[in-house]
Amino acid sequence: MSSELALSSLSRLLGWTYTVLWSLSFYPQVLINHRSKSVRGLSSDYVLLNLVGHSCYAAYNLVFLLSPTVQRQYRHRWGTDNVVQWNDAVFATHAALVSALTAWQWWRYRTPPSLPPTPRSRPSSRYEAIQAEEVQQEARHDGERISTPASLLLVAALSTLIATLGLLNLDTISALAFADTLAYIKLTVTLVKYLPQVVLNYTRKSTRGFSIENVLLDAAGGVLSLAQLLVDAQRLGGDWKGAVGDVGKLGLSFLSIGYDAILIVQHYLVYPSASTDTGRGTFSFLFSSSSSSHAGEDEEESHRGTERQRLLDPESSRRDI
């Protein structure tokens, strides 16, 4: 077997393995949200930034694979073919879709923001008014509200994307520059999207509600993604130019591994006693034998969600009566 064929086979193996690991990493959180009917402990900033980032990364990979113009411009700039593979596009597209599902769960299961009271919905007592305010404070504490910095970043990312599309339409920038913009938006989002979750874990002194399986699978996928990039760079160009040219994949791998390391340390070393049930939402959903031991906790969480809703909308409880 020639060296080129061996490297090609190794690249495919690494690529599809990391694609499977990264793709699976999204589902533990989805299952936890579905099982608990809650997004407490999951940062809303992380959820929405994740959606924007993965959508841009999916577009980036598809543009490189499907646009002859981008491929030609890349070859002219770097002197070699780009190293984007179909497994990159499959992962990124799947990630964008599951991120959209997680964002929908966040919207459905979050504690709704309080609205100005009307005569019919006004709490019947000062006690209920205080409790309703405590519910809102708890929601902010548990990461169910979008922060101002995250909102500004989302607006900036979308504005940059729209402006770049306009410049591309006017032939002011190249198609490759547009693709690079998608990669830079993804990298910027990835650079900061984990920070709200890290800070939320620190504030709550717990990682409960955030799936550690997500982090472990993500870290393993990041290592394999980086390995595939280096193998492809050596296979296609005989040097590391290809790795440097694929700024999206290179930066994504390093950032993912770095932040995953922080979250792993938080879960297993810093807050272990307060996080022992973080992962059980995933596997107890799959295996009924383990779920029965936590039925009381799940019932309590469901009851708390119902009580929060009642306090936020007293009129609904009166209608039920």
Q: Which two tokens mark 278?
A: 């973080």
Per-residue confidence (pLDDT) for residue 190, from 0 to 100: 85
Per-residue confidence (pLDDT) for residue 132, from 0 to 100: 47
Contact predicate 105/34, CB 8 Å: yes
- Whether 281 is in a domain gets the answer yes
CA dihedral defined by 83, 84, 88, 93, rounded to 10 degrees?
170
* pLDDT at position 140 over 60: no
Amino acid letter, residue 247 = V
Residue 119 CA to residue 114 CA, distance in Å, equals 15
State the average pLDDT for the chain. Answer: 79
Specify the 3-state DSSP secondary structure of 270: helix
Between 251 and 40, residue with greater pLDDT: 40
- Whether 121 is in a domain gets the answer no
- Whether 36 is in a domain gets the answer yes
pTM (predicted TM-score):
0.71
- Whether 114 is in a domain gets the answer no
* pLDDT at position 286 over 60: no
Per-residue confidence (pLDDT) for residue 166, from 0 to 100: 95
pLDDT bracket for residue 284 (50, 70, 90): very low
Range of the structural domain that residue 31 is part of: 3-108+136-312
**Count of the separate structural domains present in the chain:** 1
- Whether 21 is in a domain gets the answer yes
- Whether 96 is in a domain gets the answer yes
- One-character DSSP codes across 286-315: H-HHHHGGGHHHHHHHHHHHHHHHHHH-HH
* pLDDT at position 244 over 90: no
Contact predicate 15/87, CB 8 Å: yes
- One-character DSSP codes across 139-160: HHHTT-S--HHHHHHHHHHHHH
- Whether 128 is in a domain gets the answer no
Residue 222 CA to residue 254 CA, distance in Å, equals 7
- Whether 122 is in a domain gets the answer no
Per-residue confidence (pLDDT) for residue 78, from 0 to 100: 84
Residue 216 CA to residue 226 CA, distance in Å, equals 16
